[in-house]
Each structure stands twice: as C-alpha cells, then as structure tokens.
Structure 1
Amino acid sequence: MDETRLRRELRDAALAHRPDHARILARVERGMADPAPAPRRRTPTGTRRRWTVAVAVTAAVAGVVGIAGLAATTLGDRPAAPATALPAPGPAARAAGTVDPGSNRWWAQGDLALTTESPVSGLTVEVRVARTPGVVSTGHWQTRPTGDFTVTVTERPDALVYRWTLRPGRDVPPGPHVFAAQYNHAEGTRDPSADTYTAVLTGADGGVTTLRGAFGR
C-alpha cells in the first residue's frame, strides 16, 4: 500500500472514530500502573516510517476532535445570562402648586397645574392642605370633565386630603390641566408652605411617572 493511500485511509478512519473516553481513561490508568515494557526489536526503516505517519495523522485528528469536544462542552455548560426587563418610561409631564390669587383673609384655593405632553391612561392627583387653625374644606374642581374622575376629601388630624382618581376607560390628553382644592381658614394670611401635592401618571404602555412638590404664593 503506498503512503498516500495509507494517509487517506487513516484520516477517514480517524474522522469516523468516536472515542470511548471511559475506556481510554482506564487504559491510561493501567499503563501507568504496569512496569515499563522490555526493549523491543528494532523496526525496519520502511515500516517505521509508515508507523510514524500513521501515529502523526491519528494524533492530529484526535487533537482536532478533542479540542472541538472541549469547546462544545465548555460552551454547552456555560449558563445563559438572565434577561433583564427594563421598565417602560412614564409619561412626560410637569406640575406646579400655587395659592390662587383670588384667595382672601378667610378663604383660599390651592391650584395644582399639571401639564401632560403625551396621553395618560391612569392618573391619581392628591393635594394635602395642612391643618392650620380654622381649615375646613369648602369644595374642589378640575378642568377635566367631572365624570372622568372619582373625587374624595378625607379629613385627617394633620391635613385635608383631596384625591382625584381617573376612572377606568378614561384618559387625559396632552395639555394643561388644573386641580383645585378650596378651604376656609382662620382670619389672616395663611402660610401654605406645609401644603403638598402628588401626581401619579400611567402611560398606555404601563410606564409610570410620579411628581411631587409643595405650594407657595
């Protein structure tokens, strides 16, 4: 058999071979335990050359198969990176709380000016009027249709809490909106610095924006 054909057959055999890793490991362990073999008779030059070629080809193929198997095992065992879901951005909006210029020495109105720059599918507005002497609720209103909101006024020891909640199925279009809380107070100039507001807006995609602030003249 010529050398070219021998190389081809050895290569084909090596590529088709599926090594039994457990059996190979057992043979290596036995070989390490057995004593070194006695010197062997010298092999003729031609046979030795063919044997060297066969060993080289087999080792090369085994090396390629081994590297590929190691790479496949390493990549296959690597855990997948967990997916992180980022929250959707909330609706763009801004707010400011002021005491209405029409307020007087006995009565006042806190105006929350809310400007939305995109449609809002969920909205809760809360205005807290601090319990200073003589504070009593006298009413409320908003520029959006009355039927769009559920409105409550809760009397607490430290504040009157006015709350507007957008009804399900309604929305707030882009633009300026006003929510007003009205109340009586003791005669004189009332300090509104303890009055606060909170507005929570929800977009159609579920993103949430929260605005907080205080009132001032």
Structure 2
Amino acid sequence: MEDLKRRLRDAAAAHAPDRDGMLERVRHGMSRTPRPGPRTARPLSWPRVTLATLASTAALVAGGYTIASTVQTNHPGREAATITAAPAPPSTAFGAPTPSAPPAPPRTQDGPLRSDGAVDPHINAYWSQSNITLQTGAPLDALTLEVRIAQTGGVASTGAWRTLPEGDFTLTTADEGGTLTYRWTLKPGRTVPPGQHVFAVQYNHAPGSRAVTADAYTATATTTTGAPHTVTGTFRPAPSATG
C-alpha cells in the first residue's frame, strides 16, 4: 500500500496538463463515440480510478474552473475534490419609467391678484364666448393674459374684447399645436388700476355642445412695487351647457 501511494504521488508530481491536447482528445472522442447501449459494467481497478480522477481535475483547473474544497471520504487514503464553476455576475434590473408629474392645479389667487373663468351664458350651438375676470388690489405696471381654447373641432376665432382701454394692450391670436391662443400684453408705460376687469374671447366651433375641460388661462402681473404674481385656472361651463 505504501508503494502504491508513493507511485501515485510521483505520477501526480510529474503530470503536466496539456489543456489544448486534452480538449482536442475529448472532441475527437465525442465525435467517434457511438450511442451507448446496454452493457455489463466493467470493474475498474483502484489505480486506474485514481489516475482518471487526477487527470480530470487537472483538465478542469486548466479550463478555468476552481477547486472549492476537498472533503474526506469514508475510505482511508482516498480524497474526492468538489469542483464548482466561478459565479456569474449579477444581472442589472431596470425599473419602470417614472410617470410624468400631473399638471399643476388651478391657482386663482396670488397676493392682490385674483381670477375667475367661465363660459358666457349667451352662447349657441355654433358659437361661444369665454370670460376671464381679473381683480387686483394694487396697480399693475405689467400684465400678460394668455387664454388657451382647445381645438375640439371647427374652433376659429371671431374676436375678443376687454373692459380696459383697447390702446393699452397688444393682442395676438394664433393656432398653436391644436390650441387657439389669445394673448394680451400690457404696453410699456401703461398701468392697470386696482379693481375688477373682464377679458373675453369669442370663437366658432363644431355644431353641438362643446366640452371646455381642456380650456385654460394664465395671467402674470407685476405690481408697481415690483412684486410678481401669477394666477391660472379653467372655465366653468355655461349653465345650459354640459361641457
């Protein structure tokens, strides 16, 4: 028995694994090996099993595997190596896109500036008017009012008016990406006095009751003291309408 152990140690020390040669012999053997059929197992001698185990272990180490641990078997003088492959890197998880933030809610009061929006009750099945009432408790030396009427079908401007002097404002009307936009801008050197002021936009639309849920307005103003204020809101439908 001692002579066998010595021979095994000498064989293991002299063994120099040839990885390329081993892989080539394995591929060659697999291509020529027929499908195994029923056969009687042939007992292997202990030296042959031990040498085969050493050769397999050397091939695995040369192929990039690692020997994780060595455990003792129930047979004295025999060791079995447990072979494990290197762990794969963890995969990257991608989260769901963050939903867009909801639009800001209406803000109809900011400091001395207040606002209210409503559809005029004197409308018909083909024409509408939307009113914006601005109330300021302080003089304004800058004011821009933007009114956005959604293009719900056949929407086209028929005019606009305000209770303040016409010459104090510049008015523009434009179709902007499915929205009819009216924009009043106070001219330089003009002032909006304290009080309640009405702005109105008029437009045709497709026959029938028109929904106003997508219509909105925004007013930005600066008092004579330099303080900025902004109000924004939507329009209440006319009493007889269901928009």
What is the aligned counterpart of 1:121 among 141, 163, 172?
A: 141
Give the TM-score, by structure 1 length.
Answer: 0.58
Q: Do the aligned residues in 2 keep the contact of 1:91 with 1:118 (CA within 8 Å)?
A: no
Q: Indicate the SS of the match to 1:188.
A: coil
Q: Do the aligned residues in 2 keep the contact of 1:121 with 1:203 (CA within 8 Å)?
A: yes
Cα distance in structure 2, aligned partners of 1:156 and 1:126: 12
AA of the residue aligned to 1:195: D
Cα distance in structure 2, aligned partners of 1:190 and 1:95: 23
Q: Indicate the SS of the match to 1:215.
A: coil
Q: Indicate the SS of the match to 1:147.
A: helix
Distance 1:169 1:91, change over 3 A: farther
The answer to whether the aligner puts 1:199 opposite 2:230 as a matched pair is no
Q: Which residue of 2 aligns with 1:169?
A: 189
Cα distance in structure 1, aligned partners of 2:183 and 2:177: 17
Q: Do the aligned residues in 2 keep the contact of 1:116 with 1:175 (CA within 8 Å)?
A: yes
Cα distance in structure 2, aligned partners of 1:127 and 1:92: 21
How many angstroms does 1:157 deviate by? Answer: 2.4
How many angstroms does 1:91 deviate by? Answer: 5.3
What is the aligned counterpart of 2:116 among 75, 88, 96?
A: 96
Structure with larger Rg: 2
Deviation string, structure 1 residues 12-53 (Cα, Å, up to 9, x no partner): xxxxxxxxxxxxxxxxxxxxxxxxxxxxxxxxxxxxxxxxxx
Extract structure 1 runs of 4+ deviating beyond 2 A. Answer: none
AA of the residue aligned to 1:187: P
RMSD: 1.0
Give the TM-score, by structure 2 length.
Answer: 0.52
Identity %: 51
Of structures 1 and 2, the one scoring higher in RCO (CA 8 A, sep 6+) is: 1
| Residue segments in structure 2 that go unaligned for 5+ positions in a row | 1-109, 238-243
| Residue segments in structure 1 that go unaligned for 5+ positions in a row | 1-89
Higher fraction of helix: 1
Alignment of 1:34-183 (within 5 A): 92-183=112-203
Q: Do the aligned residues in 2 keep the contact of 1:98 with 1:111 (CA within 8 Å)?
A: yes
Cα distance in structure 2, aligned partners of 1:215 and 1:193: 7
Q: Which residue of 1 aligns with 2:22?
A: none
